[in-house]
Amino acid sequence: MKKKVIGLIDGQSGNIGSIKKAIKDIIKNKRYRLKIIDGSFDEDEFDKIILPGQGAYATLVYNLKKLKIFSPLKQYLINNSSFLGICVGMQILSDKGYEDKVTNGLGIISGNVKKFKKKNLIIPHMGWNSISIKKNNSVFDQRFNQKDFYFVHSYIYQNISKTNILATTYYGKNFPSVINKGNIYGVQFHPEKSHKYGVNLIRSFINDK
């Protein structure tokens, strides 16, 4: 049986070692194989794509364009193909990011990424926090409701339609921690650093048809 291909994008925005190891452990002896995307790619080659991200919004967008990943990735997403964006990898699904400078994102899930502002709140939001599931689907369901995941970020998705929010997290105020449109998902936290619930979440995404 032909193995399905999972693409892991290396956008040169942080170390992809943790997520790479997590995926390899999940798909060991399974019907999947992992392929690193570090340049222009044929969207038809991949059944699923994961984009991890650390650092600044503008830097990740710049790197993806420099590596000739941005345009084929946008087309892949326009076709509603299966995708998981992690942290900044989620944020660039938006229309614009306001970190350091205004930067156009992929424009897939309408909204803007702006500084997390709240009086008497330590920013960046760093550490363990729970997610509150707002609606269930085949990837995110009540298994993950009120479970803790690891966050580290200073910017949040804003001006996003409620229809695109699967879960929120409270840190001084509620903010979108899981977003979705069709087969496209984004998480503000780092599942690869979130122990068993994070691994289960990645597994749920990979195993989803």
128: domain CATH number is: 3.40.50.880
Cβ neighbourhood burial of 74 (10 Å; 0-12, 13-18, 19+) = middle
The helix (H) or strand (E) run that includes residue 57 is helix 57-66
pLDDT tens digits for 113-152?
999 987 788 999 999 999 999 998 999 999 999 999 999 9
pLDDT tens digits for 61-87?
999 999 999 999 999 999 999 999 999
Provide the pLDDT for residue 1.
Answer: 62
Mean pLDDT of the chain: 94
- Tally of structural domains, the chain: 1
pLDDT tens digits for 145-198?
999 999 999 999 999 999 999 999 999 999 999 999 999 999 999 999 999 999
Handedness of CA 130, 133, 137, 143 (dihedral sign): positive
Q: How confident is the model at residue 36 (pLDDT cuts 50, 70, 90)?
A: very high
- Transcribe 84-149 into DSSP letters: EEETHHHHTTSSEE-SSS-EE---SS--EEEE---TT--SSEEEEEE-EESS--SSS-GGGTT-EE
Q: Structural domain of residue 97, as residue ranges?
A: 4-207
- Active-site residue set: 87, 190, 192
Contacts of 28-31 with C-beta under 8 Å, sequence gap 24+, read: 31/1, 31/3, 31/4
Provide the pLDDT for residue 41.
Answer: 96
